[in-house]
Structure 1
Amino acid sequence: MILSRHDTFRPIGQILAIDVLPALYRAQKLPLRISCLGVASTGAGDDAGSFDRMIPLGECPSPEEAMRFAALRLSRSDICTGPDSFPHFRPRIMLIRDRDHGLVLAGEIRASVILWQQPVTSHAEARRIVTEASRLRGLAFRTSAPAEARELRYRAAVLETRLVDPFWREAAADLLRLPQAA
């Protein structure tokens, strides 16, 4: 068997460009911050005295660990706890962001399960989502019914969960292709 020079050695420039620099750039964006968007209220009523609230949950060193951490906190109903918690909190969207507040991954919460959203695949798709989310927020602004306005804003936020930062799109798409353990 004859090995060519290209099969055994790579130029230092190639090693730096392909292996080292992307790893360093990714490390600058860590740790990842996990938070949950939901509806908080002081009373049992859904509309009376309720408001949208973002609850920070913690930090993780990788997207995989952040997904597991978010799912664990949700399964334990350990979202809105602590001295500043609300008696009634209904989680709606789970968010994973990097240090620069770029969206890494997000998912809608239904029946205590996070439905992670597939990231957009192009700038054109991102523009379509932004346009539709803006339209929904405009409708929410014009409506006089608070419950309807909240639902329209929520639908816009769910659409925007696909607007993953371009740096993280490929990694997020790869994570969602992996089989998830139940």
Structure 2
Amino acid sequence: MALAPQTTFAPIGEILARQILPRLRLAAKLPLRVICIGTASYVGADDADSFDRNVALGDRPSLEDATSFAALSVRRGGIGVGADETLRFHPRLVVIQDNDQGLVLAGEIRAGIILWQQPVASDSEARRIVTEASRLRGIAFAASSRGDHNTARNHRHQASLLEACLVDPFWREAAADLLRLPQAA
């Protein structure tokens, strides 16, 4: 009587490669930090006196939790830069970064909601975006040198929106999958 080989056990190398190592890589990149990028200015100041500011909103244990937390923070409003009552903050972007400061997901804030940007699908697409964002930042630098602060800020914002697609390759698939879900829209 011949016995058929057992197929219920996977080789240890396969288990390590497919299950354990990906979990360890993910654990090393957590927690995820949620940051709001915007423009700050003092009450009564003109546009030339405003400045870009990053506000850390908090850390979260997963991508789903980070996006929910970011959406709730934006929806509630009142994101501020500190205790100074004369300092106003206008949020423009939300960024989620991993523990290595890699971009996980980013989106533009409009009318109290976050419009999450679709991650790049390839390295060649990422290179095109970097080129265009660099061009826009150059235009912003020239406008700033002329004293045209509004134009400079708008070009920097456009460059930031492009760069919001430059998701770290580790996170691209997870971010794209999350954006396909109905509740992320």
* TM-score, with structure 1 as normaliser: 0.92
Q: Any residues of structure 2 matched to 1:10-89 within 5 Å, and which?
A: 10-44=10-44, 47-80=47-80, 82-83=82-83, 87-89=87-89
Flag the structure with larger Rg.
Answer: 2
Residues 138, 9 of structure 1: alpha-carbon distance in 2 compared, 3 angstrom cutoff: same
Partner of 1:175: 178
Partner of 1:159: 162
| Runs of 5+ consecutive residues of structure 2 not aligned to the other structure | none
Q: What amino acid maps onto 1:5 in structure 2?
A: Q
Of all paired residues, the percent bearing the same amino acid is 60
Which runs of structure 1 show a deviation greater than 4 angstroms over 4 or more consecutive aligned residues? none
Deviation at 1:5, TM superposition (A): 3.4
Residues 111, 49 of structure 1: alpha-carbon distance in 2 compared, 3 angstrom cutoff: same
Residues 35, 84 of structure 1: alpha-carbon distance in 2 compared, 3 angstrom cutoff: farther
Q: In the alignment, which of 153, 170, 176 is matched to residue 150 of structure 1?
A: 153
* TM-score, with structure 2 as normaliser: 0.90
CA contact (8 A) 2:38 2:92 kept: yes
Question: How far apart, in 2, do the equivalents of 1:119 and 1:22 lie?
Answer: 20
Aligned-residue CA RMSD in angstroms?
1.9
Summarize deviations over 1:117-141 as a string: whole Å, max 9, x none. 1100101000000000000001111
Task: Give the number of equivalent residue pairs.
Answer: 179
Summarize deviations over 1:153-173 as a string: whole Å, max 9, x none. 000001000000011111101
Summarize deviations over 1:76-112 as a string: whole Å, max 9, x none. 1142164257631111000000011000000011111
| Runs of 5+ consecutive residues of structure 1 not aligned to the other structure | none
Question: How far apart, in 2, do the equivalents of 1:46 and 1:124 lie?
Answer: 41
Q: What amino acid maps onto 2:118 in structure 1?
A: Q
Partner of 1:138: 138
32-41 or 46-55, larger mean C-alpha shift: 46-55
Deviation at 1:24, TM superposition (A): 0.6
